Amino acid sequence: MKTRLTLVAAAVLTLGAAGSVGAQEKTLRLLTWADYAPKDVVAQFEKESGYKVELTLSNNEEMISKLRATGGAGFDLAQPSQDRITGPQQEFGIYKPMDLSKLRSELFIPSMLEATQRNTTLAGKVYGLPHIWGTDGLVVNTKLTKMVDYPDLCRTDVKGKTAVRLKRPTLLAFAFAAGKDPFALYADAKAYGALMDEVGKTITACKGNLKFFWDNKDQLLNGMRAGEIVGAMMWDTGGWKLNGEKAEIQFIAPKSGALGWIDTFAIPAKGKNDAAAYAWINFNMRPEIAARVAGSAGNFTASKGADQLMDAKLKAQFAHSFPEAALKNVKWYPAVPAGIEAIEGRVLDRIKAAQ
């Protein structure tokens, strides 16, 4: 009797395990940004593919932290920015190489696909593919003030009415505004540290000018809407959203250059459903799908032809913010070498602690 019960229990456990594996095979665990997986797009993918999508919304720092903590487990597809791939891969081994044979490469803008593959290649293997791209720059209430570059946020006439994030893009922006090229110093940790120390002092001196260091988009958008904030370092889509509400609020490409980013598709090292990951990538790069995702995110996409299907107003806002000279002056983030973010983290901590 005992033997029979043991066999029955074993059979139940085996069936349970098989069911668990089957569920995993039909689930895509996606680690992504807010607005990159709108409900209608997810629903269409689930219907067409048979996969169920489990969403976890995050940002660059949290993505790296989650994947580092698990050695690249827990998710089948992640969407870090292209500069956050080769460095973390070298340090922590959290991604697996892309299988380009499973990619519908004809769906991508060729130049953007080539550039992103180049920037995410390590030891001859590609770890990232382009998806959504955009910039950080200045958002200004032009009825209340005029600004042309990041240091204008620190002018005495706008004291208490500006905002930036206490994050690495702010350090880089102020470095470029000081006439330096921080990206050119990535290979020289000592020189980069000295530049960041210099920038840290500038931002510390500006700290009393800021109403707050913003840490969520609603806080910043509401501050701009209310007129409490007249200028901020912000992402372009936030500026265009506000411009749609109030014409006087505009996204401006700074004189020293907007900072350009590309969010990617990357497969975690211990992802369990690569097939679902590639299905999602190929689905998302179809122009008609990409245009809907880009509309949700408020940014542009690496999908070839999607721009022709996007909202006319967004295209007009982009053209106004980025005349040809400004577009050529975008400072695109290169891959971040190991150790660079530790240097920046120490400087950011000092700024935060300063009275």
CATH number of residue 206's parent domain: 3.40.190.10
Q: Residue 8 above 50 pLDDT?
A: no
Do 190 and 94 share a domain, yes or no? no
Count how many domains the chain has. Answer: 2
Same domain, 155 and 111: no
Same domain for 98 and 143, yes or no, is no
- Nearest Cα to Cα of residue 293 among 58, 121, 35: 35
3-class SS of residue 353: helix
Task: Identify whether the C-beta of residue 114 lies closer than 8 Å to the C-beta of residue 304.
Answer: no
Residues 97 and 194 in one domain: no
- Residue where the block lists tokens 């060729």: 110
Q: Which tokens hold the place of 6?
A: 């043991």
* Whole-angstrom distance, CA of residue 82 vs CA of residue 168: 15
Kindly state whether residues 129 and 214 are assigned to the same domain.
no
Mean of the pLDDT values across residues 128-143?
A: 97
Whether residue 331 sits in one domain with residue 305: no
288: left (phi over 0), alpha (psi -120 to 50) or beta: alpha
* 129-141 and 259-265 beta bridge pairing: antiparallel
Decide if pLDDT at 13 tops 50.
no
Residue 253 and residue 284 in one domain: no
230-263 pLDDT, tens digit per residue, is 999 999 999 999 999 999 999 999 999 999 999 9
Q: Which of 156-160, 170-174, 197-201, 317-321 has the lowest mean pLDDT?
A: 317-321
If asked whether residues 344 and 246 sit together in one domain, one would say yes
Q: pLDDT by residue (tens digit) across 59-85?
A: 999 999 999 999 999 999 999 999 999
DSSP characters over 97-133: ---GGGS-GGGB-HHHHHHHHHHTEETTEE--EEEEE
pLDDT band at residue 327 under the 50/70/90 scheme: confident
CA distance 115 to 134: 15
Question: How many whole angstroms separate alpha carbon 262 and alpha carbon 260?
Answer: 7
The answer to whether residue 6 scores a pLDDT higher than 80 is: no
What is the DSSP-derived secondary structure letter of residue 303? B
Q: Do residues 342 and 219 both lie within one domain?
A: yes
Residue range of the domain that includes 167: 135-259+327-353
Per-residue pLDDT tens for 152-180?
Answer: 999 999 999 999 999 999 999 999 999 99
Residue of higher predicted confidence among 104 and 327: 104
Same structural domain, 198 and 173: yes
Assess whether 224 and 299 both reside in one domain. no
Selected residue with higher pLDDT from 346 and 14: 346
What local confidence, expressed as pLDDT, does residue 311 receive?
87
Which residues are 134's β-sheet partners?
Answer: 261
Looking at the structure, tell me whether residues 266 and 191 fall in a common domain: no
